[in-house]
């Protein structure tokens, strides 16, 4: 894939996760850089006006908390880090809310832990909430829920969180705004002859040596975490750009296909990558037996699996877990993430989707397995 085609595909993409790092959000350790935040918000609003769905993953709560608490350095103890995050989160969200309101937009705070994205039911709940907010023209602002995590905070860097959110909402692109212009072949802070890498495949192992090095004083991750994040995002087919957040109009210019930063591409096209991720990522928890009509619809038309096409259910699966779909002869047809648990699935199979609410008293989705969460085998 050429640089031009990669940049053009990026500019045409319609769902971006934008991550802003701590080094960009603070004003030389003197609190949040509100002027810079205002500039990024302006660009995010412009992207939204261009029809791009946006989720913002923002660092900065710990850094802002350190400033508000007048601490001389980043705390080393977990409870102190969590306290700083709790205090700093207030200022961070207030700043974003003020800036987005200037454009008549609402922002929403979403605090996640990695557990939220590993538990299938909570995964689908988080996905549904983010999708709903974007549909309401709201900008979700995601951060790790630092105040309740039990692992060391350094293991929860927001580069990784950004990639997992990109997987979660099937984003086309992950934009990582950092204090470097992109990924260099060696550390530019130590080597004056360092060369900026324009484009590469995210799974290129040679990137690891190029990215070696630590993070800044306020940040949790260095360039290594950004490369790893790009690999995570690539699993569901997202492109990643590592780029300097201080570059003037950086988001607008990326949208215009300008060659800025480092573009890291997935090895496969988005849909193929996501289907493979689904097929290999989860253990199966149950089985759905499909009638001939449902098998034909899945194989020939690529549609979702509706309850009406299912003859029987087996297994004790929860909503969001992987189930195997077989034909009446027991031959595997597909597998996917089911939208209802086994108890409710048994009640609605063989029924039309418009009867789900009257049977269950609620509706998660009209499909038993949505086509975006289904892979043929």
Residues 267 and 311 placed together within one structural domain of the fold: no
Q: What residues make up the domain containing 363?
A: 282-376
pLDDT in tens, 233-281: 888 889 999 999 999 999 999 999 999 999 999 887 665 656 666 665 5
At residue 310, does pLDDT exceed 80? Answer: yes
Residues 74 and 193 placed together within one structural domain of the fold: yes
At residue 362, does pLDDT exceed 90? Answer: yes
pLDDT at 262: 94
DSSP 354: G
At residue 153, does pLDDT exceed 60? Answer: no
At residue 155, does pLDDT exceed 50? Answer: no
pLDDT at 185: 86
Q: What is the CATH number of the domain that holds 314?
A: 2.30.130.10
Q: How many domains does the chain divide into? A: 2
Residues 63 and 151 placed together within one structural domain of the fold: yes
Residues 163 and 298 placed together within one structural domain of the fold: no
Q: Judge residue 315's burial from the number of C-beta atoms within 10 Å of its C-beta, 0-12 exposed, 13-18 middle, 19 or more buried.
A: middle
Residues 103 and 170 placed together within one structural domain of the fold: yes
Residues 111 and 259 placed together within one structural domain of the fold: yes
Residues 86 and 112 placed together within one structural domain of the fold: yes
**Of the residues 233, 251, 274, the one at which a domain ends:** 274
**Tokens at residue 133, please?**
């907010």
Residues 86 and 181 placed together within one structural domain of the fold: yes
For every residue of 35-79, DSSP letters joined together read HHHHHHHHHHHHHHHTT-EEEEEE--HHHHHHHHTT-SS---SHH
At residue 152, does pLDDT exceed 50? Answer: no
Percent of the chain exceeding pLDDT 70 equals 87
**Of the residues 213, 241, 274, the one at which a domain ends:** 274
pLDDT at 220: 42
- Global confidence as pTM: 0.74
pLDDT at 110: 93
Residues 238 and 291 placed together within one structural domain of the fold: no
- Structural contact between residues 63 and 25, judged by C-beta atoms closer than 8 angstroms: yes
Residues 135 and 253 placed together within one structural domain of the fold: yes
pLDDT in tens, 311-328: 999 999 989 888 999 999
Lowest mean pLDDT among 127-136, 161-170, 213-222, 325-334: 213-222
pLDDT at 235: 81
Average pLDDT, the chain: 86
pLDDT in tens, 84-111: 888 988 999 999 999 999 999 999 999 8
pLDDT in tens, 13-39: 789 999 998 888 887 666 789 999 999
Residues 267 and 186 placed together within one structural domain of the fold: yes
pLDDT at 3: 39
* 32/22 Cα distance (integer angstroms): 9
pLDDT in tens, 176-200: 999 889 999 887 878 888 899 999 9
Average confidence (pLDDT) over 352-356: 95
At residue 232, does pLDDT exceed 90? Answer: no
Average confidence (pLDDT) over 289-311: 94
Lowest mean pLDDT among 152-156, 164-168, 172-176, 234-238: 152-156
Average confidence (pLDDT) over 210-218: 56
Residues 245 and 113 placed together within one structural domain of the fold: yes
**Of the residues 214, 246, 274, the one at which a domain ends:** 274
At residue 70, does pLDDT exceed 80? Answer: yes
At residue 215, does pLDDT exceed 50? Answer: no
Q: What is the CATH number of the domain that holds 240?
A: 3.40.1160.10
What is the longest distance spanned by two Cα atoms in the chain?
69
* 345/339 Cα distance (integer angstroms): 9
Average confidence (pLDDT) over 49-74: 89
């Amino acid at each position: 894939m050429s640089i031009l085609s990669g940049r053009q595909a990026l500019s045409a993409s319609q769902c971006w996760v934008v991550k802003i790092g701590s080094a960009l959000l603070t004003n030389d350790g003197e609190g949040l850089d509100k002027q810079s935040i205002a500039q990024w918000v302006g660009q995010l609003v412009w992207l939204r006006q261009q029809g791009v769905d946006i989720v913002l993953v923002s660092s900065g709560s710990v850094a802002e908390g350190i400033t508000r608490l007048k601490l001389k350095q980043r705390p080393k103890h977990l409870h102190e880090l969590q306290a700083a995050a709790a205090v700093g989160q207030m200022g961070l969200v207030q700043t974003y809310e003020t800036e987005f309101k200037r454009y008549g937009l609402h922002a929403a705070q979403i605090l996640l832990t990695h557990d939220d994205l590993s538990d299938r039911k909570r995964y689908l709940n988080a996905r549904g909430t983010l999708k709903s907010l974007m549909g309401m023209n709201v900008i979700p602002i995601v951060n790790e829920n630092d105040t309740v995590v039990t692992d060391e905070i350094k293991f929860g860097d927001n580069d990784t969180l950004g990639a997992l959110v990109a997987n979660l909402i099937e984003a086309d692109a992950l934009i990582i705004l950092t204090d470097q212009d992109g990924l260099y072949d060696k550390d530019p802070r130590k080597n004056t002859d360092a060369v900026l890498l324009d484009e590469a495949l995210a799974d290129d192992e040679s990137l690891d040596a190029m990215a070696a090095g630590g993070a800044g004083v306020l940040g949790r991750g260095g360039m290594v975490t950004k490369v790893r994040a790009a690999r995570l995002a690539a699993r569901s087919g997202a492109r990643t750009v590592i780029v300097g957040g201080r570059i003037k109009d950086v988001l607008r210019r990326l949208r215009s296909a300008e060659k800025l930063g480092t573009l890291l591409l997935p090895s496969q096209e988005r849909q193929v990558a996501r289907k493979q991720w689904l097929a290999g990522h989860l253990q199966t928890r149950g089985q759905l037996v499909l009638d001939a009509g449902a098998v034909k619809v899945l194989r020939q038309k690529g549609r979702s699996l509706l309850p009406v096409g299912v003859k029987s259910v087996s297994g004790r699966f929860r909503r969001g877990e992987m189930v195997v779909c077989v034909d009446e002869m027991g031959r595997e047809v597909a597998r996917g993430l089911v939208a209802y648990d086994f108890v409710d699935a048994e009640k609605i199979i063989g029924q039309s989707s418009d009867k789900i609410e009257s049977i269950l008293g609620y509706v998660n989705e009209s499909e038993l397995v949505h086509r975006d969460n289904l892979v043929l085998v």
